[in-house]
Structure 1
Amino acid sequence: MAEREMSRTKETFEPRISLITLGVRDVEASAQFYERMGFERSKSSSTDSVVFIPLRGIVLGLFSRTALAEDAGLDASPPTPFGGITIAYNTRSEEEVDRLFELMVSVGGKPLKAPQKVFWGGYSCYVADPDGHPWEIAFNPHWEVSPDGAMRLPAG
């Protein structure tokens, strides 16, 4: 992209994400899975057909996979089971990775990869929610997770 176009884009587009919506088979079953993990749905914004879960600075949405695909003008049947997205939760320690892996599995998550040391120098695992959306739970010794849970990448 040309430098002038990038400058114009930065003036009109804030680089942030407001909402991540997961297309799910059963909105209520998925909402209950996330609630068992400690998330709370917004009672004022959620309905029977869509659940919104406020997080720190972002919202997680749960919506019928078919309805979400229709809304976006897409085919609801992907060519592969993996939809090309993961949700990541970064922790402050390897022990926290282990604890959250056990918690997610105990509330109905499917273990995909057990906690282990990884090639980039950290420690991580993967657990799928009831609809197969993979969550990476990771400790990255090169990144900081602030006391309020915000992610801080190294300067540079």
Structure 2
Amino acid sequence: MSELPSRLSVVTLGARDLPRLRRFYCGLGWKEISSSDDDWAGFLLGGVLLALYPVDELAAEAAAGAPAPTGWSGVALACNVDSRQQVDAAFAAALAAGATAIAEPMDRSWGGRSAYIADPEGNRLEIAWASSARFDDRGALTAFGS
């Protein structure tokens, strides 16, 4: 048996209105991959692909027979930025693109600064700065923690 590699390659959001969700992420300035359309969309983000896929089709593959979720899923995506000040600027840009404010930018007990938004379908995205986060030239996280 082979080992499961310790990496995260794709995060898929099940979309109820994929064209609307696609427009939102494009509105953030995120670049789509060339095969994106209103049936499936992808955004390459620093080495991880954010995929948008119809929720019914995703459920058929990943949750066959499971009850439909209600309310918040308990999952939040995070986009770490390079400075404390960028949290506020990114939060304002996300709101301008159509996000809903969940938690205003604030300094956190863990020593960083963050804010939370929701995309048009309620998926949570944290915009965060942590002094220990390090990124490569692609924006991929290379180190986190002390």
TM-score normalised per structure 1: 0.83
**Alignment correspondent of 1:61:** 51
Question: Which of these residues, 5, 21, 24, is aligned with residue 33 of structure 1?
Answer: 24
Is 1:89 matched with 2:79?
yes
Work out the CA distance in 1 between the residues paired with 2:140 and 2:65.
Answer: 33
- Dislocated runs of 4+, deviation >4 Å: none
Query: How big is the shift at 1:14?
Result: 1.2
Query: How big is the shift at 1:154?
Result: 4.9
Work out the CA distance in 2 between the residues paired with 1:59 and 1:135.
Answer: 15
1:53 is paired with a residue whose SS is: strand
Quick one: which amino acid aligns to residue 63 of structure 1?
Answer: Y
Q: Where does structure 1 lack aligned partners over 5 or more consecutive residues?
A: 1-7
Structure number having the greater helix percentage = 1
Query: How big is the shift at 1:37?
Result: 0.5
Work out the CA distance in 2 between the residues paired with 1:118 and 1:28.
Answer: 35
Length, aligned pairs only: 145
Larger Rg: 1
Work out the CA distance in 2 between the residues paired with 1:55 and 1:139.
Answer: 17
Distance 1:64 1:138, change over 3 A: same
Work out the CA distance in 2 between the residues paired with 1:154 and 1:40.
Answer: 25
Conserved in 2, the CA contact under 8 Å of 1:109 and 1:128? yes
Computed over aligned residues only, the root mean square deviation of the Cα atoms, in angstroms, reads 2.0
Higher relative contact order (CA 8 A, sep 6+): 2
**Alignment correspondent of 1:137:** 127
Work out the CA distance in 1 between the residues paired with 2:73 and 2:25.
Answer: 19
Work out the CA distance in 2 between the residues paired with 1:29 and 1:15.
Answer: 33
Work out the CA distance in 2 between the residues paired with 1:21 and 1:42.
Answer: 14
Distance 1:90 1:37, change over 3 A: same
Q: Where does structure 2 lack aligned partners over 5 or more consecutive residues?
A: none
Quick one: which amino acid aligns to residue 84 of structure 2?
Answer: E
Work out the CA distance in 2 between the residues paired with 1:108 and 1:101.
Answer: 11
1:12 is paired with a residue whose SS is: coil
Q: State the identity %.
A: 31
Work out the CA distance in 1 between the residues paired with 2:125 and 2:145.
Answer: 26
1:137 is paired with a residue whose SS is: strand
